[in-house]
Every structure is written in C-alpha cells, then in structure tokens.
C-alpha cells in the first residue's frame, strides 16, 4: 500500500489525540502527535509558544513537525487543528497517508473545550468557536480523503470506523469494508 499512514485532522477538540491513541492500541501502529513534536522541539507548550513567538512561530515549528511525521511509515499522525491551513502540510500529509477528517459541530467543540483553556486560538465565547469552525470547515473538507462524523459518537466508535476503512483501502477496496 502506497499510503501507509493514517492521518487524523480536524478542528481543536475533535478527538484526534484520543482517537489516535485508541487506533494505536487497536492497530499496533505508533501514534505521532505533531503538537507533541512541536512542544518537544521548542521546549515549551503550545500555549507558551503562542505567547512568546505568536502564531507565526508556532506554524514554523508545526511545518517542521509535519514534515518529519510525514516521512514516517506505518504510523498514525494526529495533526494540530490548524495544520491543514498550510497547503505544504496538506501536500506532504496526503502523500504520506489517508487523511481522515474528524468532523465535529461547533457546539460539541464548545462543550469539550469550553473556555479555550490551553488552546490559544479558541475563543472563550460560543460565538467565537462557531465562527472559527465555520471559517476553517471548507479547508478541512478539501484536505480530507474521508470525513468521519464525531459528534455524538464515542472515540472508540470513530476509531473502529477509521480502522475498518483503512484496512479496506490496504486490501485495495477504497469504498469501505
């Protein structure tokens, strides 16, 4: 299979890290979290990077992390919520794996991450969350190979759907199990 990686994309609080951990346990594939890679290389949290260097500096770290993650094989790559806003990242990730969009409603994002704690770009008000989701949604959809709805579903259900789809693609049946 040419695309050996599962790439999880989506808005903040869509469940990428949680679903990635479950998928890793179920498939035996290592989980590579680009936000974690950014924090390790910067020696600071995402929030601290935003505070000291702004979004631009964070995106530089993120681009490097995405490039490193995309060079790996047989891994699950969970990218930060804004990674797909950079076309260079999308090109690398699509070449490296199957891009799964964990689609989530603004209401669910607000419920899961209300107040934006630790998420520098997420507003504290529900209307701010709704606007940011609306602005980014088209980019997420365009980058995705597969859209997986997460609202109202458990992370385990989402992980099972992705694992089944990925296995079917590996077997040469891209239209599902």
pTM for the whole thing?
0.88
In this prediction, residue 79 has a pLDDT band, given cuts at 50, 70 and 90, of very high
Q: What's the rounded mean pLDDT across residues 70-94?
A: 95
Q: Which domains does the chain have, with CATH numbers?
A: 5-170 (3.40.50.300)
Task: Give me the pLDDT at residue 130, please.
Answer: 80
User: What angle (nearest 5°) sits at the alpha carbon of residue 79, between those of residues 73 and 80?
Assistant: 165
Of 16, 15, 43, 4, the residue nearest 169 (C-alpha): 4
List the one residue out of 79, 51, 50 whose CA is nearest residue 64. Answer: 79
Residue 114 token pair = 């209300």
Could you tell me the pLDDT band of residue 128, with boundaries at 50, 70 and 90?
A: confident
Per-residue DSSP letters for 41-98? Answer: HHTS-HHHHHHHHHHHHHHHHHHHHHHHHHT-SSEEEEPPTTGGGSHHHHHHHHHHEE
Is the confidence at residue 6, as pLDDT, over 80? yes
């Amino acid at each position: 299979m040419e695309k050996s990686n599962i790439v999880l994309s989506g808005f903040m609080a869509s469940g990428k890290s949680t679903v990635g951990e479950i998928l890793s346990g179920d498939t035996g594939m290592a989980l590579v979290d680009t936000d974690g890679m950014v924090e390790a290389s910067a020696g600071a949290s995402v929030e601290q990077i935003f505070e000291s260097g702004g979004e631009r500096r964070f995106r530089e770290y993120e681009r490097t992390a995405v490039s490193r993650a995309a060079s790996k094989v047989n891994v699950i790559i969970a990218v930060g919520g804004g990674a797909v806003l950079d076309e260079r990242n999308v090109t690398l990730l699509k070449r490296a794996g199957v891009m799964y969009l964990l689609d989530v409603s603004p209401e669910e994002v607000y419920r899961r991450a209300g107040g934006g704690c630790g998420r520098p770009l997420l507003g504290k008000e529900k209307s701010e969350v709704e606007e940011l989701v609306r602005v980014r949604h088209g980019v997420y959809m365009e980058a995705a190979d597969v859209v997986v709805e997460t609202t109202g579903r458990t992370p385990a259900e989402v992980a099972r759907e992705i694992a089944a789809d990925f296995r079917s693609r590996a077997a040469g049946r891209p239209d599902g199990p």
